[in-house]
Structure 1
Amino acid sequence: MAISDWPEDERPREKLLARGAAALSDAELLAIFLRTGSRGRTAVDVGRALLHRSGGLRKLLDMPPARMKHLPGLASVGRRALLLAALEMGRRYLAEELERGFSLDNPEPAARMLTAELRGEPREVFAVLFLDNKHRVIGFEKMFYGTVDGAAVYPREVVRRALEYNAASVIVAHNHPSGVAEPSQADRDVTDRLRKALDLVDVRVLDHLVIGDGHWESFSRRGWV
């Protein structure tokens, strides 16, 4: 049965417009970009097959275009371009919050934007948001890079950049490439070193966010900063 023969409230596009994108499954969202299926299969069927073949939506969208084109249903340049453009649009939408002047008064918006920046990194990346005295963003930098086992963090470099930005506070963050966001003892030790170094120049560490795969943890929420 073709999608056009389905009840109207079950068709992916109509369902999205009536109930919102969150109501759609991953396969239904993919079907909107695929637009058509193949012989004997609807676009939703092709979407399910793509998810199964790639190991899920995240792995599909993280796949290099050169590999993506070999998947059934994505041989078309147009389809691949639509998917990649949608992914980049989402990243840019979140990245706009990193622009100078955006205020961060709780962990949620910071975690949202930092997840977009760090979640896909194959190695640990330590990043810093520099804020003014009203918690508005005045700078963002990925400062230290490591392996999947850890990143070497140098507090003196964070202090130096904080002074150059004339920052009143910072939010630091790093990703766990394993996907597990639970902070380690090493993460706590680094945070203590940073806090002590920045205290000397009257710059406050507001939070340390650990970014996993689809989840994040906040030191401030745990009462650790």
Structure 2
Amino acid sequence: MQNKPDSFSIKSWDRDDRPREKLRLKGRSALSNAELIAIILGSGSSRESALSLAKKILAAADNNLNSLGKLSLAKLMAFHGVGEAKAVSIAAALELGRRRNGEDRPDRFRVQNSASAYNYLRPTLGELAHEEFWVLYLNNSNRVLKQEQLSKGGITGTLVDIRLALKFALELHATAIILAHNHPSGTLVPSEADKQLTAKFKLAAGSMDIKLLDHLIVTEKDYYSFADEGLL
């Protein structure tokens, strides 16, 4: 039986090159994505170091963290040396990063146009593999009072309760709302159901002096605005 090469063990590396020591001595920004993932992994396998394994995992996601965040636990566990605990750790770390990105938005963000609304909503909706429907509740200055998930569905659709959405609007004393849902398929073409729902929302909200400013279809890289397209 052959002995494992010493290079498989990070402990055999120069101290300055070990990911944990490098982070402690030089700061987190000095580490590559692979080195950060190696720290999450904690160890590699009998065949390779944690860093080598991290590089393979990243390569499978085209070295893109957004793509990596979409890999299922099963796909992560397909790598030799990645069990359920390591796969869960990677998924949890990437989800924290996604949520942190969403929390970087300032309180009472002011929506100026469809692009600013999209930038506000993209961290929440852009990467989802299933469809969700959200509402932004705004005050007189178009500042966000609250964002609320109205429903969560499957890959192709979700059910929406207009009465519940307007109940929240009245409780928040909102004067305007923006609707938003994602299309996991990546298409930005509104369905007939999308158009009908938007029309119902506009009519119901208008009867309560609440203005429907827009309805956005959100994907990871782009959006569709009902207002910009003259459909409101």
When the two structures are superposed, what TM-score results if normalisation uses the length of structure 2? 0.67
Aligned twin of 2:11: none
Is the aligned partner of 1:196 residue 2:215?
no
Give CA deviations for 1:101-137 in whole Å, capped at 9, x if unaligned: 2211122232123221123333321100101001111
Decide whether the 8 Å contact of 1:129 with 1:140 is kept in 2: yes
Q: How does 1:1-225 map to 2 (within 5 A)?
A: 29-30=33-34, 34=38, 49-54=56-61, 57-64=65-72, 67-68=75-76, 70-71=78-79, 84-85=92-93, 88-97=96-105, 100-225=107-232
Decide whether the 8 Å contact of 1:124 with 1:148 is kept in 2: yes
Decide whether the 8 Å contact of 1:124 with 1:147 is kept in 2: yes
One-letter amino acid matched to 2:71: M
Q: Structure 1 residue 49: deviation in Å?
A: 4.1
Instruction: Decide which moves more: 179-188 or 198-207.
Output: 179-188
Aligned twin of 2:20: none
Question: What residue ranges of structure 2 are gaps of 5+ in the alignment?
Answer: 1-28, 40-46
Aligned twin of 2:4: none
Decide whether the 8 Å contact of 2:174 with 2:210 is kept in 1: yes
Decide whether the 8 Å contact of 2:183 with 2:217 is kept in 1: yes
Q: Percent of pairs identical after alignment?
A: 28
One-letter amino acid matched to 1:193: K
Aligned twin of 1:13: none
Decide whether the 8 Å contact of 2:73 with 2:91 is kept in 1: no
Decide whether the 8 Å contact of 2:77 with 2:87 is kept in 1: no
Question: What residue ranges of structure 1 are gaps of 5+ in the alignment?
Answer: 1-16, 18-27
Instruction: Decide which moves more: 124-133 or 185-194.
Output: 185-194
One-letter amino acid matched to 2:156: D
Q: Structure 1 residue 224: deviation in Å?
A: 2.0
The CA RMSD measured in Å over matched residues stands at: 3.8
Q: Structure 1 residue 201: deviation in Å?
A: 0.7
| Whole-angstrom CA distance in 1 between matches of 2:109 and 2:170 | 20
One-letter amino acid matched to 1:146: G
Decide whether the 8 Å contact of 2:138 with 2:177 is kept in 1: yes
Decide whether the 8 Å contact of 2:127 with 2:219 is kept in 1: no
Decide whether the 8 Å contact of 1:169 with 1:206 is kept in 2: yes
Q: Structure 1 residue 149: deviation in Å?
A: 2.5
Give SS of 1:143's match: strand
Q: Structure 1 pair 137/60, CA: closer, same or farther in 2 (3 Å)? A: same
Decide whether the 8 Å contact of 1:69 with 1:80 is kept in 2: no
